[in-house]
């Protein structure tokens, strides 16, 4: 098998995702890895490529600034007749360019006198940097033992992992909310508490999917904060009559209220919905 980074993008096939984004994929339907028979897919995303390029450029700029500071400190040490050792400077340089990508196209030069550093110069190899970007950036390697999955389904399943991981992070968070505080001590009651918490997670996920269908994107914390701000009030009139109402809402809350059709639910329960 040819190394994956040697496969030209010309051999990739275009793939359209349901959200309208377009990527390229290269697949090997029958591949064995670690004694597992499956299919391998390499996806190339232009958006991911640009993100990685920006990150590498930012790392390079930060490293250059710190190298300039290191060079000034070396020159100051020489001016004080206390030049630094080669080992110490090499160790500091290694820290400044410890990112694997930077190391691949960075070349330092130390001016030495009797084993002491007099000056520091360096060079960034633009050709090697371009080769790294062309070879590795924007690519994600996927492998599955489910031979029936189409390339689009593989990509979507991989990208959905982040959503599942987010829900697990929320469930394990010690911030007040879904799990904490748990006012129970016995195993049986903790089990029931855990069931309630994961049912709440399931409901939140359903709400997020409903909002996604209506082209609304909002994080879990912001969602729960806005929904908690929608209140039911009991209005008692002078004649003794009473009426339950849903109080006025902010524009953001009203957007959620309409998208989730909470108005119909509130009216079924005998509430009057006040309009903002």
Q: In what helix (H) or strand (E) does residue 265 lie, and over which residues does it extend?
A: helix 262-268
Q: What is the mean pLDDT of residues 248-267?
A: 86
* Percent of the chain residues past pLDDT 70, beyond the cut: 94
DSSP assigned state of 3: -
Q: Which of the residue ranges 59-68, 219-228, 263-272 has the most confident prediction, judged by mean pLDDT?
A: 59-68
Residues contacting 114, CB < 8 A, separation 6+: none
Cα→Cα distances 27→48, 112, 136, Å:
19, 52, 16
Structure tokens at 161: 């992992």
Answer whether 0.95 is exceeded by the pTM.
Answer: no
Confidence at 173, pLDDT banded by 50, 70, 90: low
Crossing angle between the packed helical segments 220-228 and 151-172, to the nearest 10 degrees:
60
Give the span between the Cα atoms of 177 and 252, in whole angstroms: 21
More confident position, 180 or 70: 70
Cα→Cα distances 196→162, 170, 171, 202, Å:
23, 14, 12, 10
Spell out the long-range contacts of 45-48 with Cβ–Cβ below 8 A and sequence spacing 24 or more: 45/21, 45/138, 45/140, 46/138, 47/21, 48/137, 48/138, 48/140
Q: What is the mean pLDDT of residues 188-197?
A: 85
Strands 272-273 and 242-246: parallel
Q: Is the pLDDT of residue 105 over 90?
A: yes
Confidence at 72, pLDDT banded by 50, 70, 90: very high
Confidence at 93, pLDDT banded by 50, 70, 90: very high
Q: Is the pLDDT of residue 227 over 70?
A: yes
Q: If you average pLDDT over every residue of the chain, what do you get?
A: 86
Q: What is the mean pLDDT of residues 121-133?
A: 94
pLDDT of residue 54: 95
pLDDT of residue 230: 87
Confidence at 1, pLDDT banded by 50, 70, 90: very low
């Amino acid at each position: 098998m040819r190394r994956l980074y040697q496969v030209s993008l010309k051999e990739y096939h275009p793939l359209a995702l349901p959200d309208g984004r377009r990527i390229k994929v290269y697949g090997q339907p029958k591949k064995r890895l670690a004694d597992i028979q499956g299919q391998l897919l390499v996806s190339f995303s232009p958006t991911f490529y640009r993100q990685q390029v920006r990150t590498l450029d930012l790392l390079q700029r930060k490293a250059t600034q710190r190298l300039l500071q290191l060079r000034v400190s070396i020159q100051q040490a020489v001016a004080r007749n206390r030049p630094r050792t080669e080992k110490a400077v090499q160790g500091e340089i290694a820290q400044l360019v410890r990112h694997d990508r930077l190391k691949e196209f960075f070349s330092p030069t130390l001016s030495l006198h009797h084993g002491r550093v007099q000056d520091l110069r360096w060079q960034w190899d633009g050709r090697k940097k371009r080769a790294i970007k062309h070879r590795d950036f924007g690519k994600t390697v996927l492998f599955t033992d489910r031979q029936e999955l189409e390339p689009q389904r593989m990509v979507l399943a991989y990208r959905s992992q982040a959503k599942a991981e987010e829900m697990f992070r929320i469930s394990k968070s010690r911030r007040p909310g879904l799990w904490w505080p748990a006012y129970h001590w016995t195993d049986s009651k903790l089990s029931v508490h855990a069931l309630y918490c994961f049912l709440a997670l399931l409901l939140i996920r359903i709400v997020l999917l409903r909002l996604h269908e209506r082209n609304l994107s909002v994080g879990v914390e912001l969602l729960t904060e806005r929904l908690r701000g929608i209140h039911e009030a009991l209005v008692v009139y002078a004649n003794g009559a009473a009426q339950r109402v849903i109080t006025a809402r902010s524009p953001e809350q009203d957007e959620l209220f309409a998208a989730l059709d909470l108005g119909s639910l509130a009216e079924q329960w005998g509430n009057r919905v006040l309009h903002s």
